[in-house]
Amino acid sequence: MDYFQTFQVLPNIPEPLSFLESLSRNYWWSWELDAKELFRRIDLELWESSGRNPLLFLANVSQKRLEALSTDPGFLDHQARVKALFEERVKTPFTGGPGGIYDREGAIAYFSMEFGIHETLPIFAGGLGILAGDHLKAASNLGLPLVGVGLLYRQGYFHQRINKDGWQQEEYPETDLYPLPLEKIRDEHGHEMRITIPGPSEDIVAVVWKVGVGRVPLYLLDTNLRENPRHIRDITARLYVSETSVRLAQEMLLGVGGVQALSAMGIEPRVFHMNEGHPVFSCLERLARIMEIHGVDLRAAREIVPRATVFTTHTPVPAGHDEFEPDLVRPYLHQFQDRLGVSEDEILSWGQHEGAGIDSKLSMFILGLRMSQFMNGVSELHGRVARRMWRHVWPHRPEAEIPIAHVTNGIHIPSYVSWSNAMFFQNRLGINWHCNSWKRESLKEIDGINDLDLWEAHKRSRNRLIENCRRLLKKQCERRNAPQNVVEAAESVLDKDVLTIAFARRFATYKRANLLLRDLDRLNDILNNEERPVQIIYAGKAHPTDEEGKGLIRHIFKHASDERLRHKIVFLEDYDIRMARLLVQGADVWLNTPRRPYEACGTSGMKAAVNGVLNVSILDGWWCEGYTEETGWAIGKGEDYEEHSDSDLVDSHALYNVLENEVIPCFYDREEGAAPFRWIEMMKASMKMVLSDFSSLRMVEEYEKRFYSHASRKYGELLDHHAAGAQKVADLRERYRSKWGDISLAPPVCERSGSEPIRMGDVFPVTVMVHLGDLKPEEVHVELYHGNVQSLDTISESHTELMAVRESKGDGTYLYACNLTCTSSGQYGFSVRVMPQGDDLIKYMPGFVTWAEAEKEP
């Protein structure tokens, strides 16, 4: 059929229930318990069978039931209560933020390749997308003027099926958009808004959709248009395709097209936040738009964009960052050659490693760090790993001073917490408990939760998990045409009173899903202990091209069929948000076994912890910050190994030991059938830890205070008075670039008399002769760099003192001096360096640091 017209038929909702339509079209309902309960109250069975999709659900509620509810006082009161919350938390207009630094809604644009909002909107693959969704939800709760920008994948990430041999199979069913709360953006004439970016052979045209995530709008670009040829339509077909040219087209559309879409809607954000390197091409479009709108040159625009850009990296290995061959990228850069006034090769060089040839690959990470002042990893350990990974970009800088910070991830707690725990929190912390970031001292009320009540609530969550496991396993067996006895056995798999361990995550090799299976005899003894049995639930997907990851799934599937382990190990296929919610609420132990330090953060453990599920994890990612003896267990002591085989062997033994000697006894340590009170005490400590330190509210507040507010202010300052501030900074950068090579320092001199030993606390003056050439003392900082010496050329726990000019020697040479205080005992060392004055972007420019030279031997 070449052409047909479409239209959508909506249910006939009685007027007293009209709010239900508004509620169903904003994902706010998905984390507001009272709103979810409103839908469940209409028809619980239909709510579950419709996949908890309000639009699909309302379309199938009988007219008779709707009419009855429209005159039901109890239901109408419930609806009024939810509507009042909706008006307060969704419809309340933005007021300008702290200090009025955000002048309009949409002042912050958050770009991400994927967003995990709810299972009904399948445009996510894993942790990166879930984190992005949680970021939007927290911004909504906080009233932050943020908009999300992404792509609308009509097939999304794949659905997983496991065949009879245990191999993962991928299916890509097309998502039906009509029962989703999507609104197509239209222009002032009512026509659907379209954006166009030049492609290698023809234009890429996309429409823009909007999804409401509380107060925050999420805009999604979609190339699935009739007039687009098939290869253009397929750009937004699937998430994380392996074909490089399609991946590049997606990232160009997300970055360049995303900025164009915002501009077409009249949104010119002050701050950009790029979630990983995929959206980095947005910086090119933003450079061009600043030049065109504000009439500034490229030099000035390149000072503005980085100072108003946040770049978050989630990838702890260099190979995990996208890189593209120059010949693939050049066709997309042709438009920027004219708009920016520089060659394609010059633009490419911004994303190439220093000193690399013009034919080297463009790194999205390198381009991102050169276009961002505010860069961060997603846990304290990951920040250190990222600084070590990229220290070569900042030669001659101590690793601790590489300008990559960290903001530890957090979770949107009401999206994952069980109903029972939410009620405990509400009763103890107040009805608005999930709208606040909590201090540890404020959470003592959690200790007052009755131990037996908490334990019984957790048992109900475990029962619900196991009932769902049985139902899902039965469906899996029936789909594989398994023998009838196998199908029947699936209906009784697992035990509702047994310690239940969950391992659910992406099946990448570094996550070591098979670590617990290295010693099957020992594992069999653990699982089949008559007095203290254990059972394990596995779930997760391997990337379609990751054969090793698929092999891990097959390995687990094989052992789940082993006669000794059957009914004790299960693998659930097609892991998604709903399954994750069941697991983090119903398991007893959340197992995490990555090779350290390859887990950047790992937020699933936080979701488990807030539900009272105890973590047993390698000390990697967030667990380095969350672990205490009161909150869970560590596998090993945070060791790093050169060889993977050594790491796997040692960590597997450590895992068996901690299970046998600590976890299992703690769970089953009960007197006369009572609850495990030590375990319950740890559950409470775990919940308090997440509420205080690992919520997305804390995370987004940290981004706002440390990055967004500074970026927004700087953006305004640099553009004021026809961008005079930006021009001044550009001139200063150029001055440094042309004059920095003339700087030299003589060896510093310690002006100390006598031969008495130096004691801790001693103070003595240090001087150094510095030649600045044409630069002036007010343009640089001369610093004394000192501390305990760790090795021949490394100072640990360094300190700096600003030195002052004592004397001008003429010809650009100055004598600088300051006092050195010995703050600790041991081998001590010091040196002197010159750095630019200015903000952190100027101060940490690669190559702009000069150290004192060593004394030359005669």
**Cβ atoms within 10 Å, residue 100:** 8
Residue that is written with structure tokens 């002591």 in the block: 637
pLDDT for 802 equals 96
For the ranges 92-106, 157-171, 254-268, the lowest mean pLDDT is seen at 92-106
**Cβ atoms within 10 Å, residue 655:** 25
pLDDT at 99 over 70: no
| DSSP character string of 468-500 | HHHHHHHHHHHHTT--HHHHHHHTT-S-TTSEE
> 252 or 396: whose pLDDT is higher?
252
Across 254-408, where does the E strand assignment appear?
Answer: 271-275, 309-312, 323-324, 362-363, 374-377, 405-406
Percent of the chain with pLDDT over 90: 82
pTM of the model: 0.95
In 3D space, the residue among 199, 108, 176 whose CA is nearest the CA of residue 145 turns out to be 108
State how far the Cα of 172 lies from the Cα of 241, in Å rounded to an integer.
Answer: 12
pLDDT tens-digit map of 650-673: 999 999 999 999 999 999 998 877
State how far the Cα of 808 lies from the Cα of 729, in Å rounded to an integer.
Answer: 27
> 172 or 639: whose pLDDT is higher?
172
Percent of the chain with pLDDT over 70: 97
Across 86-145, where does the E strand assignment appear?
Answer: 108-112
Residue 436 burial (CB < 10 Å; 0-12/13-18/19+)? middle
- Residue 322 tokens, joined: 């996208």
pLDDT for 50 equals 94
pLDDT for 93 equals 77
Regarding beta strands 763-771 and 749-750, do their DSSP bridges make them parallel or antiparallel, or are they unpaired? antiparallel
629, amino acid identity:
E
pLDDT tens-digit map of 285-323: 999 999 999 999 999 999 999 999 999 999 888 778 899
Mean pLDDT of 725-739: 94
> 102 or 631: whose pLDDT is higher?
631
State how far the Cα of 317 lies from the Cα of 599, in Å rounded to an integer.
Answer: 10
63-72, 788-797, 823-832: range with highest mean pLDDT:
63-72
For the ranges 205-219, 350-364, 444-458, 622-636, the lowest mean pLDDT is seen at 350-364
Question: Within 13 Å, how many C-alpha atoms sit on residue 364's CB side?
Answer: 25
For the ranges 6-15, 248-257, 477-486, the lowest mean pLDDT is seen at 6-15
pLDDT for 757 equals 77
For the chain, the average pLDDT equals 93
pLDDT for 105 equals 75
Task: For residue 673, report the phi and psi dihedrals to the nearest 5 degrees.
Answer: 80, 5
Under 8 Å between Cβ of 108 and 269 = yes
User: Helix, strand or coil for residue 163?
Assistant: coil
738-761 burial by CB neighbour count: b if 16+ within 10 A, else e?
A: eebeebebbebeeeeeeeeeeeee
pLDDT for 3 equals 53
State how far the Cα of 608 lies from the Cα of 96, in Å rounded to an integer.
Answer: 35
- Residue 387 tokens, joined: 């600084």
Query: CA-based angle 386:391:833, to the nearest 5?
Result: 130
pLDDT at 8 over 70: no
pLDDT tens-digit map of 327-337: 999 999 999 99
pLDDT at 19 over 80: yes
State how far the Cα of 568 lies from the Cα of 443, in Å rounded to an integer.
Answer: 37
State how far the Cα of 428 lies from the Cα of 445, in Å rounded to an integer.
Answer: 6
> 278 or 793: whose pLDDT is higher?
278
Question: Within 13 Å, how many C-alpha atoms sit on residue 604's CB side?
Answer: 30
747 alpha carbon, distance to own chain's centre: 45
Collect all residues with Cβ–Cβ distance below 8 Å to 159 and sequence separation of at least 6.
170, 171, 172, 173, 574
pLDDT tens-digit map of 372-429: 999 999 999 999 999 999 999 998 899 999 999 999 999 999 999 999 999 999 999 9
Residue 473 burial (CB < 10 Å; 0-12/13-18/19+)? buried
pLDDT at 66 over 50: yes
Under 8 Å between Cβ of 612 and 421 = yes
Mean pLDDT of 674-686: 96
First CA to last CA distance, the chain: 89
Q: Is the link from the previous residue into 597 a cis peptide, with omega within 30 of 0?
A: yes
DSSP label of 255: I
Residue that is written with structure tokens 């039931």 in the block: 65
User: Helix, strand or coil for residue 24?
Assistant: helix
pLDDT tens-digit map of 518-568: 999 999 999 999 999 999 999 999 999 999 999 999 999 988 877 777 789
pLDDT for 318 equals 74
pLDDT at 7 over 60: no
pLDDT for 685 equals 97
* Confidence at 822, pLDDT banded by 50, 70, 90: confident
Across 113-199, where does the E strand assignment appear?
Answer: 146-151, 159-162, 168-171, 182-184, 194-198
pLDDT for 322 equals 93
Residue that is written with structure tokens 């360094």 in the block: 798
pLDDT at 857 over 50: no
| DSSP character string of 571-635 | EESS--HHHHHHHHHH-SEEEE-PPTT--S--THHHHHHHTTPEEEEES-TTHHHH--TTTEEEE
State how far the Cα of 214 lies from the Cα of 231, in Å rounded to an integer.
Answer: 34
- The most distant pair of C-alpha atoms in the chain lies apart, rounded to whole Å, by 101
pLDDT for 2 equals 54
Under 8 Å between Cβ of 137 and 118 = no
372-393 burial by CB neighbour count: b if 16+ within 10 A, else e?
A: bbbbbbbbbbbbbbbbebbbeb
pLDDT at 858 over 50: no
DSSP label of 303: H
State how far the Cα of 362 lies from the Cα of 794, in Å rounded to an integer.
Answer: 32
Under 8 Å between Cβ of 159 and 170 = yes
For the ranges 319-333, 356-370, 752-766, the lowest mean pLDDT is seen at 752-766
pLDDT for 1 equals 47
How many angstroms separate the Cα of 218 from the Cα of each of 48, 69, 111, 182, 779?
A: 26, 32, 10, 10, 44
For the ranges 146-150, 470-474, 563-567, 683-687, the lowest mean pLDDT is seen at 563-567
Under 8 Å between Cβ of 224 and 237 = yes
pLDDT for 441 equals 87
pLDDT at 59 over 80: yes
State how far the Cα of 170 lies from the Cα of 8, in Å rounded to an integer.
Answer: 31
Regarding beta strands 828-836 and 780-791, do their DSSP bridges make them parallel or antiparallel, or are they unpaired? antiparallel
Under 8 Å between Cβ of 457 and 418 = yes
| DSSP character string of 664-689 | HHHHH--STT---HHHHHHHHHHHHH
203-217, 668-682, 759-773: range with highest mean pLDDT:
203-217
Question: Within 13 Å, how many C-alpha atoms sit on residue 823's CB side?
Answer: 15
- Residue 66 tokens, joined: 């709707």
Under 8 Å between Cβ of 552 and 576 = no
State how far the Cα of 183 lies from the Cα of 8, in Å rounded to an integer.
Answer: 12
Under 8 Å between Cβ of 397 and 310 = no
